[in-house]
Amino acid sequence: MNLQFTKIRSLYSNFIFVVRSKSFLKLFLSLLVFLILPYSLIIGRMIYREYKDALDWNQRFQLVRIQLLAIDIENQIRQTLEIEFSKTNKFKSNPYSFTEIQSVCPGFVLEENKNISFFILPCEFEGKLNSYFLVNDGNRYRLFPSTFLEEALLDSSFSDPNEGLFLLNQSGNYGISGFIEDQFLVSAIWKEKAKSSLQTNSNLPTLKEVEIDGMGFFLVGIPLYGLPVHLFVVSPIHLVLQPILDSLETNITTLILLLVFTFFISTLISLREIESKQKLSLILNEFPHAAILYDSVGEVLLENPRIETNLDLTDVYLYQEPLKSWLKKEVLVFLKEIQNLSIVTTKEKTISENPSNSQNQTNPNGQTLRKDEFEVLTENGTVLLLEITYQIWYFEEKNHFASGALLLVQNVTKKRLEFEREMDYAKDLQKKYLPKQILFFPRFDYEILYRPLIQVGGDYYDYIDLGNNRYIFAIGDVIGHGVKAAMMMTVLKVLFHQITRTETNPEMILVKMNEGISRHFPDPYAFVPFLFLLFDLNVNLVYYGNAGHPGMIHYTNNTSKCYEKLNPMFGMLPKLEPKVLEFPILKGDRFYLFTDGLKDVENSKKEKIWEKELMSFFDKMKENHISFVKQELDFKIRSFSEGMDLLDDITWIGIDVI
């Protein structure tokens, strides 16, 4: 028993904890405002419209229907009286004098100067009091019992079983009713309610709402044509409104179910969110560096403020502002950028078109990242380099809209020092393997422009005197940037020098380079675009070999030519069937070799320099010396990029035949 009580108490305390949490209140109120309240307003307006339409329709219907009833009742009265008065053997149809009428009909009063042709009144014969029609026949009167009319009022073809009909004489003090419980007599209550509807100068129907014993009724009246009698129809209002009341009851039930469902869903989601927060809190506390979890409006959900064991976010400052305050403003900017992206596929498409130039990058799971590095000051004046990573997170795995941002802060001061040492080493290494100075080649004037993305890159260029009046210019592009790409570039140079030292056939140079790269280059560096121009002055021919490289322009006879790639990149196919172009060496010809980093130079408007801008520049420079072209090309790159970072390494070789 105690165990069950403990479980119940635990469940109750957990339930109270959940429903009092901010996440539950926000979610429940949101659903209340955006789901239940709009539904209530829509249903309320719809029922109100139905109520107004039902009342309007019922009034029109009742006014038309009572006219049909009046015609039916009047026809029955006239036909019955005409038939009965034609039978002279009927006792009560015999003519009576005024005095005789007063003796049998005690309620009958007639002013001397008033002519009357038709009247409804109670009369007593043989000790029985019943309703009769009184018909004036000159100075004599005839009586006829109204029993047939009681049946007509009780069961009319134009009335509803739930309604009541009654007739009142012109003065309204006596009438015949279709209500059995009142012995077919109009009660005093209905006489009083109908009194204001009696008409003397109009034959138009009237309608009003009356209330008796807390119930509402429609009371419709109309005078019978040619007879001093009024017909009234009593219709309960609730019959008209019953469908609306049923609809209201159904919708109220639906609202209650929605409210219960909303409460249940809010509780369930809040419980899962609280559990997730607890798990995330444990995970964040295990991080080796600071981590903050923000919601979609930039409020902190969870945080681990420790950058390192003895260093917290509150201990560092950026731009003379506490780092934590500055981070919140940056997170709001980051979340706003994410919210402006319509859908995940659009984000992936945008970034895939230009992945290397986007600060926001998408990982394979579709999460958007942003990384910044800043130098900050500690309270004792020490300068640290912090890497700040912004990453959106989703409450559910399949959600398309960000639930917030996860921010990671890491001290990378030591990593930066190690990186700088590695870069210095790689830079020295690359200097050793790239040509150090321009060599003299007869009949050729050439220049080199080399701009790595960072201090070192994966672009390879070379020019070699092969001996026997043969010279070769080459350019290649190892995938990637930085130290690893630079190391693979040195391997590419060694391989190219070994092959060209013994091989003179341009086609075999392509074949052996492809075999060497396929055999010795590891993934992801196993694919290398490459091209060369081999000038053989003995036969006055230049051989153009291209393995999937995008860039060479040839100016000859005042025209420019861009040649196709001819062969796939080195490493794509295990065996290569080489294609080589050859054309004569002509004085005044000019060749431009360049890697795709030159074509990908981009300005602040995301416009690339290739092809219109770059070709226009080269066309204008065709009469200038090749050294001047190099200087102007360097200036062109800087001015076109408008200070934007390069997207790739840039290597360019310009060759003039002199």
Residues 217 and 319 in one domain: no
Nearest residue to 474 (alpha-carbon basis) of 621, 591, 605, 375: 591
**Could you report the per-residue pLDDT of 479-496, keeping only the tens digit for each?**
776 677 777 888 888 999
520 shares a domain with 628: yes
Residues 407, 464: one domain? Answer: no
Range of the domain at 64: 10-242
Residue 458 shares a structural domain with residue 414: no
| Cis ω before 288 (30° cut-off from 0) | no
For residue 489, is it within any domain?
A: yes
- Bond prior to 111 in cis (omega within 30° of 0): no
- What residue type is 592 in one-letter code? Y
User: Which phi-psi region, left, alpha or beta, contains residue 319 (left: φ > 0; alpha: ψ -120 to 50)?
Assistant: left
The answer to whether 180 and 202 have CB atoms below 8 angstroms apart is no
CA 482 to chain centre: 42
427 within some domain: no
3-state secondary structure of 487: helix
Is the Cα torsion angle 453, 456, 459, 465 positive or negative in sign?
positive
Q: Are residues 180 and 44 in the same domain?
A: yes
Asked which of 174, 208, 242 is the last residue of a domain, the reply is: 242
The whole-angstrom distance between residue 237's C-alpha and the CA centroid of its chain comes to 47
Same domain, 20 and 82: yes
Confidence band, pLDDT 50/70/90 cuts, at residue 534: very high
Q: Are residues 325 and 205 in the same domain?
A: no
User: Rounded CA gap, 454 and 203, in Å?
Assistant: 103
Q: pLDDT averaged over the chain?
A: 80
Query: Rounded CA gap, 478 and 499, in Å?
Result: 18
Question: Does residue 277 fall inside a structural domain?
Answer: no
Range with top average pLDDT, 59-68, 90-99, 120-129, 487-496:
487-496
* pLDDT, tens digit (0-9, with 9 covering 90-100), for 588-640: 999 999 998 898 898 888 888 888 888 999 999 988 999 999 999 999 998 99
- Both 408 and 476 in one domain: the answer is no
Establish if 353 belongs to a structural domain. no
Give the lowest-confidence range in 134-148, 347-361, 555-569. Answer: 347-361
Average pLDDT over residues 294-323: 84
The pLDDT value recorded for residue 537 is: 95
Question: Are 520 and 630 members of one domain?
Answer: yes
pLDDT tens, position by position, 398-444: 555 567 888 889 888 887 777 677 666 666 666 666 787 788 898 99
In a domain, 573, yes or no: yes
Q: From residue 457, give the alpha-carbon distance in Å to each of 423, 451, 486, 495, 550.
A: 10, 9, 5, 18, 18
- Residue 197 CA: distances (Å) to CA of 77, 223, 361: 22, 10, 83
Confidence of residue 499 (pLDDT cuts 50, 70, 90): very high
Residue whose entry in the numeric block shows the structure tokens 């038709």: 118
Q: Look at residue 443 and tell me if it is in a domain.
A: yes
486 and 635 co-located in one domain: yes
In 3D space, the residue among 443, 441, 444 whose CA is nearest the CA of residue 465 turns out to be 441
pLDDT value of residue 350: 44
Do 4 and 252 form a contact (C-beta atoms < 8 A)? no
Q: Kindly report, residue by residue over 253-285, the tens digit of the pLDDT.
A: 888 888 888 888 887 777 666 666 666 666 666
- Euclidean distance between CA atoms 378 and 381, whole angstroms: 5
Are residues 291 and 150 part of one domain? no
CATH number of the domain bearing residue 84? 3.30.450.20
Total domains, the chain: 3
Q: For position 652, what pLDDT does the model report?
A: 94
Lowest mean pLDDT among 89-93, 153-157, 610-614: 89-93
> Which residues are within 8 A (CB) of 256 and not within 5 positions of it... i.e. 6 or more apart?
none
Q: Which CATH number do you get for residue 572?
A: 3.60.40.10
Judgement on whether residues 46 and 174 belong to the same structural domain of the protein: yes
Is it the case that residue 347 has pLDDT exceeding 60? no
Query: Which candidate, 67, 72, 224, 221, places its Cα nearest to that of 155?
Result: 72
| C-beta of residue 626 within 8 angstroms of C-beta of residue 593 | no
If one counts every other C-beta atom within 10 angstroms of the C-beta of residue 232, the result is 24
**Is residue 150, in this structure, part of any structural domain at all?**
yes
Position 322 pLDDT exceeds 50:
yes
* pLDDT per residue as tens digits for the range 381-404: 888 889 898 888 765 555 555 678
Q: How far apart are CA 327 and CA 340, in angstroms?
A: 20
Instruction: For residue 178, give both structure tokens.
Output: 């279709």
Q: How many CA atoms lie within 13 A of 576 on its CB side?
A: 26
Q: What is the pTM of this model?
A: 0.43
275 domain-assigned:
no
pLDDT at 112: 44
Angle subtended by helix axes 413-433 and 482-502, to nearest 10: 10
Q: What pLDDT, on a 0 to 100 scale, did the predictor assign at position 256?
A: 87
Maximal CA-CA distance, the chain: 161
